[in-house]
Chain A
């Protein structure tokens, strides 16, 4: 069983909600959590992994290298590079190794032999550890500026599935790009987190197009619903019309930031808070679905 938390828009509460969901769901099921926000993974701050049991480099990637002694400075490689990451540098050309995705274009168009070669590179890591709540957390961690977060997320998912738990709970990245698509793939349910703003709805709609495209099932949760009740009501009827069940409405609650600062899931640190009560109802609804 795979449940993926996504939103399109960033900063709407995916990680706070995922951490609390993981805490509550782990009481009744065997779960593994996956932080698939490879650019900026933060779930570990809330789920408290003391020791990473394993940190495996993401291998198989490579970058082009231009030999400055042999390069004649013709610049044909730079003209053809689809990533536009080759730059002139005092008489020769240099590959920006951070941006290079390792395609063969520069080496094919280079008129000389042996000027351009490839070397292996590590754009990120897949790591895992046991959280202080007893279940494992797998994290995809991309190094700053590097490409291929989608492939990295696929690797991390493979690792997470090896735990053979009943439920794989994924915290996806913001956006709707390759890493989010990699996260959504194989979901039994996608939990779409949305705030009552036009911006959040716009991004959620874009996400839902992909969810539908893959034939996945989505449910929604409205976060901070009470900051704009009118819009929240519109959201509810909008989702209902589309056949998307709203499994929860979470009020704005200062304890979310407080718990974040203390590095704990809200439901553990402030069990009686409005956020926690709403989350418990979300879990009840999810349990019925799952």
Chain B
């Protein structure tokens, strides 16, 4: 089973929901796909160690074998290849997306060799709560979010078993790729105009992907829920829980104590959310 946690807006509580769900569900591996700002390890008191590098292809041009046909530059959709005075290619590394088109088109053997650069890391760690955490992390200054996410997700899928995907803020193509193939998407939002507007983008994406989606309202009580209710109805996505705005939850966040491991009344909400999610997956 794959449960994905998303929501569009940042800071709505995706990581809080993901980590607490992972603790409750026990047999799941939590996968942090927020590769630009991975935070689950902090909330779970895990030190990221022994990262596996995510390598992105880049061409290495051997000018001695190059005839100067210029096909590599022509085929590069990112304009990352310029030709020198002899018509031989030079790479503008920052623009290269690592697609391999230049290598595939090159008619000369040995003129383009495989090289790579490291754009991120994948970490696999045991959490103090028993389950495993897989974290994707984009290297600072690199722009290939999609690549790091893709490789992290593939690694998690290869290991198999039950997975929870915690996704980033936003609604671009890397979020789309993260959600693809989920059994259920949990969209975490907050009752503000920002929350509602960004939620709609996620609901639009999951309806396009035909993914079962449920909504969790976090910071319930701070604002008007009307817009979220109407989105819930319009997209046919039930609201499976309301996490109240509470000082106690904020305190848990600071002290890195999972809410579900406390006796607080707020912990009960997460148990209910877990049950509702499992029910919804069963129904489909």
Given contacts A99-B173, A203-B37, are A80 and B140 in contact (CB under 8 A)? no
State which residues 206-222 of A face B: CB under 8 Å: 206, 209-210, 213
Write out the residue numbers on chain B whose beta carbons fall within 8 Å of the beta carbon of A109. 104
- Contact A199 B43, beta carbon cutoff 8 Å: yes
In the complex, chain B residues whose CB is within 8 Å of the CB of A101? 77, 97, 99, 173
* Interface presence of A149 (CB below 8 A): yes
For residue A263, which residues in chain B have a CB less than 8 angstroms away from its CB? 193
The total of chain A residues at the interface (CB under 8 A) is: 57
Residues of B within 8 A of A213 (CB): 140-141
Does the CB pair B143–A181 fall under 8 Å?
yes
Whether the Cβ atoms of A105 and B170 lie closer than 8 Å is: no
Contact call A177/B98, Cβ cutoff below 8 A: no
Contact A45 B254, CB 8 Å, known A12-B11, A98-B176, A261-B223: no
Question: B59-67, B85-93, B196-204: which lies at the A interface?
Answer: B196-204
User: In chain B between 141 and 165, which residues have their CB closer than 8 angstroms to a CB of chain A?
Assistant: 141, 143, 145-147, 150
Q: How far is the CB of B266 from chain A (nearest CB, A)?
A: 17
For residue B256, CB closer than 8 A to chain A, the reply is yes
Contact between A199 and B39, CB atoms less than 8 A apart: yes
Contact with A105, one of B104, B147, B205 (Cβ below 8 angstroms):
B104
Q: Mark B99-125, 1 if CB is under 8 A from A, else 0.
A: 111001100000000000000000000
Picked from A98, A150, A198, the residue with its CB within 8 Å of the CB of B208 is A98
CB nearest neighbor in A for B14: A10
Given A39-B172, A144-B204, A197-B254, A176 and B39 contact (CB-CB distance below 8 Å):
no
Q: How many angstroms from the CA of A42 to the CA of B199 in the assembled complex?
A: 12
Q: Is the CB of B8 within 8 A of A40?
A: yes
B105 (CB) vs chain A CBs: closest residue: A108
Query: Taking CB as reference atom, which chain A residue is nearest B13?
Result: A11
* Given A198-B256, A213-B141, A261-B192, A175-B100 contact (CB < 8 Å): no
Taken together as a complex, chains A and B put the C-alpha atoms of A107 and B154 apart, in Å, by 24
Q: Are B42 and A206 in contact (CB under 8 A)?
A: no
Chain B minimum-CB-distance residue to A207: B140
* Smallest CB gap from A106: residue in B: B101
Residue B273 lies at the interface, judged by CB distance under 8 Å to chain A = no
- Interface status of B75 (Cβ within 8 A of chain A): yes
Would you call B253 an interface residue if the criterion is a C-beta within 8 Å of the partner chain's C-beta atoms?
A: yes
Contact B173 A146 (CB under 8 A): yes
Task: Kindly list chain A residues whose C-beta atoms are within 8 Å of the C-beta of B194.
Answer: 15, 40, 42, 45, 260
Whether, in the assembled complex, B70 has its beta carbon less than 8 Å from a beta carbon of chain A, the answer is no
* Contact for A10 among B10, B101, B146, B256, CB less than 8 A: B10
B134 to chain A, nearest CB (A): 18
Interface status of B1 (Cβ within 8 A of chain A): no
Other-chain contact of B197, A45, A80, A150 (Cβ < 8 Å): A45
Interface centre among B140, B176, B202 (most CB of A within 10 A): B140
Contact code string A83-113 (vs B, CB < 8 Å = 1, else 0): 1100000000000001101111100110000
A175 touches B143 (CB 8 A): no
Q: For residue B43, which residue of chain A has the nearest CB?
A: A199
Interface string of B1-18 (1 = CB under 8 A from A): 000000011111001000
Q: Tell me the chain B residues, 176-223 only, with Cβ under 8 Å from chain A.
A: 176-177, 192-194, 197-198, 201-202, 204-205, 208, 222-223
Alpha-carbon separation in the docked complex, A286 to B77 (Å): 41
CA separation between A40 and B197, bound complex, in Å? Answer: 8
Q: Using A82-B99, A260-B192 as known contacts, say yes or no to A8 and B37 having CB atoms under 8 A apart.
A: yes
Report the minimal beta-carbon distance from B272 to chain A, rounded to whole angstroms: 24
Q: What is the minimal beta-carbon distance from A11 to any residue of chain B, in angstroms?
A: 1
Q: Which residue of B lies closest to A41 (CB)?
A: B197
Most chain A beta-carbon contacts within 10 A, residue among B77, B100, B172:
B172
Per-position binary interface string of chain A over residues 129-162, scored 1 when its CB falls under 8 Å from any chain B CB and 0 otherwise:
0000000000000101111011000000000000
Q: Does B168 contact A (CB under 8 A)?
A: yes
- Tell me if A174 is interfacial: C-beta within 8 Å of chain B: yes
A selection of 21 A-B contacts at a CB cut-off of 8 Å is A9-B10, A9-B39, A11-B9, A11-B12, A42-B197, A80-B100, A102-B77, A104-B76, A144-B202, A144-B204, A145-B205, A147-B172, A174-B36, A176-B138, A177-B36, A177-B138, A202-B42, A213-B140, A227-B250, A257-B192, A260-B223
Contacts A10-B169, A98-B208, A103-B77 supplied; 9 other A-B pairs, CB < 8 Å: A10-B11, A40-B198, A104-B101, A144-B202, A145-B176, A176-B140, A178-B143, A180-B36, A257-B192
